């Protein structure tokens, strides 16, 4: 395999540097065998699919702990509606989505619809809500008629428990549909990781793992280990890939097939990119078209160096991938199918905010500080902040006028990569590491490499309200690396 260069990684993954030391040994061990005798290479399956009808989707989501099938065996995890992942919600622009969240956990929770451009107020995408054990809450999201199609996802967002609940199994996909590629077979792949102890329960992370951002012993696709897809030669498939890992970056390569990258997050590319590799930071998503050729293809994850603790810990964090990096495989056979060239998506013209006057500029800084960690509630570890301040839900960090176009520079003064996520309003990436983008790149998660910066433009349109921005390494978010933005 030829290593991906830094500029390509920045362009395709919303940023990040792909490690060239495949299999390198850092703070995490190399996984040569699967724990707990889990079952791998089963037939690929997808979660239950719930579709809107006549402009409405009504869903009951029950969050509970129990015995669930994960990696081919019965284990005890968290889940929505008894499945890991939860059901896939399929909607269209203009739809209304009503979700009754029922909390049957022994701890409070709530629900975030990651990437959707919807109101953050009231019973919308309001991360300040708290649903206590035994209680329920009725969310309602009204999608605009021009809402971007694509793959999104949902997960808990109650500060202080996000990493535990997502790592434990609470997540699922959302698809906002379009009719661009009607003849392509549509598959949803929610990639996550998990660690299980000898009794089949989710293993608690160590203090070091929470500081670095936990990564699981088992890599899952729709709750399976290295599942096998079946397809016919010449078919075209649309893969909607979600990185639902709490901390793991996914540097993905599809071997022995012909993938074309349609877009990342909610941002379609101007034309499909014929790239066999793409990088997903935690929270990122990708849409890929695969034109299948006979034989076996493997979707593989390569190690990614996301930095380290500097001189304090010695060396970087070179993550090793469970099960040899195999995420999934596809077996293609049978007679070739003829597909007309017209069924490929037409060239798109993504919105471009460059050249427009901005109402204001801001600089935000990811910071890590040992002294701040010693002052934290647990009195140990590393402090994770924006501009030196840990998250306080009573404090407003950024006040913005509704309708304003602003330019934000996100600096990373730490020795670890941090993926920056802003709720509700998408971001157009303007420059990365001081290098301007040559075409519009739209994201809701943008990785900011260690000792670097990314500049984005944000149109605070359509909605007023208060929400958050944060590091999408969820342990870092829980430990304070989050701020509030109020739009009025």
Q: pLDDT per residue over 48-105, tens digit each?
A: 999 999 999 999 999 999 999 999 899 999 999 999 999 999 999 999 999 999 999 9
Neighbours of 307 (CB within 10 A): 18
- On whether residue 391 sits in a domain, the answer given is yes
Q: HSE of 179 in the Cβ direction (CA atoms, 13 Å)?
A: 1
Q: Are 399 and 486 in contact (CB under 8 A)?
A: yes
Query: Of 425, 434, 430, nearest to 354 (Cα)?
Result: 430
- Per the prediction, the chain carries an average pLDDT of 87
- Percent helix, strand, coil in the chain, to 5, is 10, 45, 45
Question: In the chain, count of helices (H) and strands (E)?
Answer: 5, 31
Domain count, the chain: 1
- On whether residue 100 sits in a domain, the answer given is no
Sign of CA dihedral 158, 136, 46, 65: positive
Conformation bin of residue 451: beta by default, left when phi > 0, alpha when psi is -120 to 50: left
Domain of residue 468 covers 360-487
- On whether residue 388 sits in a domain, the answer given is yes
Query: Of 168, 178, 372, 158, nearest to 263 (Cα)?
Result: 178
Q: What is the pLDDT of residues 418-451, one digit of tens each?
A: 999 999 999 999 999 999 998 889 999 999 999 9
Q: What is the pLDDT of residues 97-156, one digit of tens each?
A: 999 999 999 999 999 999 999 999 999 999 999 999 999 999 999 999 999 999 999 999
Distance CA 25, CA 143 (A): 46
- On whether residue 457 sits in a domain, the answer given is yes
Structure tokens at 411: 């600096």
Sign of CA dihedral 457, 143, 185, 153: positive
Residue 440's CATH number: 2.60.40.420
pLDDT exceeds 60 at position 376:
no
- On whether residue 474 sits in a domain, the answer given is yes
- On whether residue 439 sits in a domain, the answer given is yes
In DSSP notation, 322-343 reads GGGGEEEEEEEESS-----GGG
Residue that has been written with the tokens 């598959």 in this structure:
187
Q: Are 112 and 125 in contact (CB under 8 A)?
A: yes
pLDDT exceeds 70 at position 32:
no
Q: Are 417 and 444 in contact (CB under 8 A)?
A: no
- On whether residue 386 sits in a domain, the answer given is yes
User: What pTM was computed for the model?
Assistant: 0.90
> Is 237 in a helix, a strand, or coil?
strand
Tell me the residue length of the chain.
Answer: 488
Longest dimension (CA), the chain: 66
Query: Of 328, 301, 331, 305, nearest to 316 (Cα)?
Result: 305
> Which residues on neighbouring strands pair with residue 150, listed in sequence order?
176
Q: Could you tell me the pLDDT band of residue 349, with boundaries at 50, 70 and 90?
A: confident
pLDDT at 382: 77
CA dihedral 208, 213, 217, 218 (to 10 degrees): 170
- On whether residue 28 sits in a domain, the answer given is no
> Which segments of 224-372 are extended strands (E)?
228-232, 236-243, 250-255, 258-264, 267-273, 277-280, 285-291, 295-302, 326-333, 360-369
> Is 167 in a helix, a strand, or coil?
helix
Angle at the Cα of 206 from the Cα atoms of 201 and 208, rounded to 5 degrees: 150
């Amino acid at each position: 395999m030829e290593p991906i260069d830094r500029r390509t990684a920045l362009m395709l993954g919303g940023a990040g540097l792909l490690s060239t030391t495949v299999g390198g040994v850092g703070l995490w061990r190399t996984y040569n065998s699967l724990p707990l005798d889990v079952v791998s290479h089963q037939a690929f399956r997808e979660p239950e699919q719930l579709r809107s009808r006549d402009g409405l989707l009504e869903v009951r989501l029950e969050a509970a702990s129990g015995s669930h099938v994960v990696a081919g065996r019965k284990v005890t995890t968290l889940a929505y509606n008894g499945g890991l992942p939860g059901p896939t919600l399929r909607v269209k622009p203009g739809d209304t989505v009503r979700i009754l969240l029922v909390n049957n956990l022994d701890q409070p929770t709530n629900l975030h619809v990651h990437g959707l451009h919807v109101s953050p107020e009231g019973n919308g995408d309001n991360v300040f809500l708290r649903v206590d054990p035994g209680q329920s809450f009725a969310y309602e999201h009204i999608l605009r008629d021009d809402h971007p199609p694509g793959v999104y996802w949902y997960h808990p967002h109650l500060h202080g428990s996000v990493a535990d609940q997502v790592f434990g199994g609470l997540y699922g996909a959302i698809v906002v549909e379009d009719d661009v590629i009607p003849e392509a077979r549509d598959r949803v792949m929610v990639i996550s990781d998990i660690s299980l102890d000898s009794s089949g329960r989710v293993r608690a992370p160590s203090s070091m793992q929470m500081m670095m951002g936990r990564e699981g012993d088992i890599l899952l696709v729709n709750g399976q280990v290295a599942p096998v897809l079946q397809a016919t030669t010449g078919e075209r498939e649309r893969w909607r890939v979600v990185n639902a890992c709490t901390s793991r970056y996914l540097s993905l390569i599809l071997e022995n097939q012909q993938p074309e990258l349609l877009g990342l997050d909610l941002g379609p590319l101007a034309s499909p990119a014929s790239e066999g590799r793409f990088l997903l930071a935690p929270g990122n998503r990708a849409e890929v078209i695969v034109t299948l050729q006979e034989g076996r293809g493997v979707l593989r994850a390569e190690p990614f160096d996301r930095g380290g603790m500097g001189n304090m810990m010695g060396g970087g964090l070179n993550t090793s991938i469970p099960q040899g990096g195999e995420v999934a495989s596809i077996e293609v056979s049978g007679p070739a199918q003829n597909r007309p060239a017209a069924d490929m998506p037409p060239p798109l013209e993504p919105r471009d905010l460059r050249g427009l006057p901005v109402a204001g500029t801001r600089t935000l800084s990811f910071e890590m500080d040992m002294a701040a960690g010693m002052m934290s509630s647990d009195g140990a570890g590393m402090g994770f902040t924006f501009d030196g301040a840990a998250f306080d839900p009573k404090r407003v960090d950024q006040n913005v006028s509704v309708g304003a176009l602003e330019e934000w520079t996100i600096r990373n003064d730490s020795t670890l990569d941090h993926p920056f996520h802003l709720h509700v309003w998408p971001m157009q990436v303007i420059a990365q590491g001081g290098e301007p983008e040559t075409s519009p790149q739209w994201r809701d998660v943008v990785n900011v490499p260690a000792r670097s910066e990314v500049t984005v433009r944000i149109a605070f349109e359509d909605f007023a309200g208060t929400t958050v921005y944060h590091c999408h390494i969820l342990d870092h978010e829980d430990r304070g690396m989050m701020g509030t933005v109020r739009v009025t």
